[in-house]
Structure 1
């Protein structure tokens, strides 16, 4: 099963990719994902996400499967050949805008069960995309100003507080 959503924003693909590949910043915008460790090609990173509307936190290891600057960023989690969930953000320049394509793919023997949650998955992806769009728009607007130490300290403190609460 595969679900795709897309949206456009007015920043360059490299800037959008840089923000998306910053796993620590997911705590600032993503409704449920909290990553541990830094993204590098083929890295294993810790991932905590909420099932059942965030009430059931699950911890797992995610493998970074695509780390292509300004083009793609993706990770995969799974249970051997039984079930694999892949999530990808693909970026493409479209004139003055960047087109972002968000794809979630379920594969393996248990993947047909994904059709039971398809509507909820679509809704969740739209909420994630809206949160990412708000975050990227806010960051792009703020980056035209001179970034001062207070702003960097505030962002670091915000990340630390969110990580401590998870």
Structure 2
């Protein structure tokens, strides 16, 4: 298992950031790599689509389910390749007033996660940074503070 995280701060209140992240129908307009169809609700099945990326055909979809959902705090989904890999992508929000810290995580688990860690984690870091900058632009803002992206390898307990 490994996790890649990018952390940014934007000068927007949590409620505004939450509204943009839960408006799945609008993802394709601002997110450089992803489109989502469905409802932002715990347990909801969504269509998670990848725009043309890494040589994949445009509008490729993978099965996904919303499994991280705590209003105005956590939103995310799980993608999977049966018996090989699960990928959780999620956002956690914190802050007060007009500033929000956005933690954007991608966690990979499964038999092949160890094999793909090195080639995938660097690419994912770059993708998260670009996606988070696009989120800030959608919010009518820019990233006001960028924290160091991290890549952590975790052992199962």
Instruction: Report the TM-score when normalising by structure 2.
Output: 0.80
C-alpha distance in structure 2 between counterparts of 1:55 and 1:83, whole Å: 18
Matches within 5 A, 1:126-165: 126-137=129-140
Aligned residues: 138
Runs of 4+ in 1 over 4 A off after TM superposition: none
C-alpha distance in structure 1 between counterparts of 2:24 and 2:65, whole Å: 13
Relative distance call for 1:3 and 1:80 in structure 2 (3 A) is same
The residue aligned with 1:108 is 110
Q: CA deviation at 1:47?
A: 1.4
Q: Which has the larger radius of gyration?
A: 1
Q: CA deviation at 1:114?
A: 2.7
Q: Give the helix-richer structure, 1 or 2.
A: 1
The residue aligned with 2:27 is 26
Which stretches in structure 1 are left out of the alignment for 5+ residues?
139-166
Contact map agreement 2:14 2:93 (CA 8 A) in 1: yes
User: Secondary structure at 1:56's aligned position in 2?
Assistant: coil
Instruction: Report the TM-score when normalising by structure 1.
Output: 0.76
Which of these residues, 80, 85, 88, is aligned with residue 86 of structure 1?
88
The residue aligned with 1:42 is 43
C-alpha distance in structure 2 between counterparts of 1:89 and 1:131, whole Å: 14
Contact map agreement 1:37 1:45 (CA 8 A) in 2: yes
- Could you give the per-residue CA deviations for residues 139-159 of structure 1, whole angstroms, max 9, x where no partner exists? xxxxxxxxxxxxxxxxxxxxx
User: Secondary structure at 1:38's aligned position in 2?
Assistant: coil
- Could you give the per-residue CA deviations for residues 75-122 of structure 1, whole angstroms, max 9, x where no partner exists? 000023320011011000145411000000110101111322221111
Which stretches in structure 2 are left out of the alignment for 5+ residues?
142-157
Q: CA deviation at 1:20?
A: 0.5
